[in-house]
A = this chain, B = another copy of it.
């Protein structure tokens, strides 16, 4: 049987890494023993906390050319967020919870998307439907992904199905959701030990919006001011990133995971339009956005609207 490469998006977050590992376990249970999880970037501290807690090794970094290789994508579909050689791969299956765009195949495939808060929630349902065994460490990674994507169930992207999955899994993983979740989020929320460049690339994605390529990075923190103390340093790094990556616009979303608010910093063309998107006027390129925590639901559609 030919190898199957399984991976989440570039700049992997906890859902991207966990869902790749979970899906390779799922594939093994279907009889596909040649399925292997990979990652498209470094493992962040939040994800490392989860992997360490449940004693799971991080997936290998993907270096192979995927031309004519069998591939399963988790937690993404847009080619610009995927492996560089994805267009030449044979995509057999996609499991995702995002919009569909810049995605194309030559042949029919399995595709399962649901508008839930986390890819791991869909994977949980797939295990249930097939009656597959959920081992404690798989349950732990599913919970970690759900808590990460939903910011402990507080994000507007969080659905009843995400909560129900985490509740059903907590006894298998043998953890308390609240205390484990907060420790995990805090592990990923330290910003002082990171360079400005590292903060920008922690969890950044590119989006085609009208004629603009917009880069949107998100930093989780327990102290927004701690990040904005480095305003100038961040602006310089964002300008450099725009030049290097040919982005027209860079939006940095700094999210307070305790109070569930964000402050944005914007650099690039039409940056005032980003203010418009949120009915605010940017001051010094920044604005406070109360209640905003979700890039997918509360940022991307709003900026897409004003730029299209």
Contacts and interface: CB of A to CB of B under 8 A. Distances in A.
B111 A107 contact: no
Interface string A89-116: 0000000011111111111111111110
Nearest to A91: B100
Contact of A115 (B104, B106, B110): B110
Contact of A113 (B102, B111, B115): B111
A299 B5 CA distance: 28
Which has the most chain B C-beta neighbours within 10 Å: A109, A111, A304?
A111
A99 B106 contact: yes
A99 B107 contact: yes
Contacts of A106: 99, 301, 304
Interface in A5-31: none
A100 B103 contact: yes
Copies in the complex: 2
Nearest to A296: B108
Contacts of A98: 108
B105 A101 contact: yes
A276 to B, nearest CB: 18
A142 to B, nearest CB: 19
A57 interface: no
A244 interface: no
Contact of A108 (B99, B108, B109): B99
Contacts of A296: 108
Contacts of A229: none
A115 B105 contact: no
Nearest to A92: B115
B111 A112 contact: yes
Contacts of A104: 99-102
A304 B104 CA distance: 14
A64 interface: no
Contacts of A105: 99-101
Contacts of A111: 100, 111-113
Contacts of A101: 104-105
Contact of A114 (B99, B110, B115, B304): B110
Nearest to A114: B110
Contacts of A109: 99-100, 113, 115
A129 interface: yes
Interface of A: 97-115, 129, 296, 301, 304
Given A100-B109, A108-B113, 7 more contacts: A100-B105, A106-B301, A107-B115, A107-B301, A110-B113, A110-B114, A112-B112
Pairs A-B, 9 closest by C-beta atoms: A108-B115, A111-B113, A101-B104, A99-B105, A100-B105, A111-B111, A99-B107, A99-B108, A110-B114
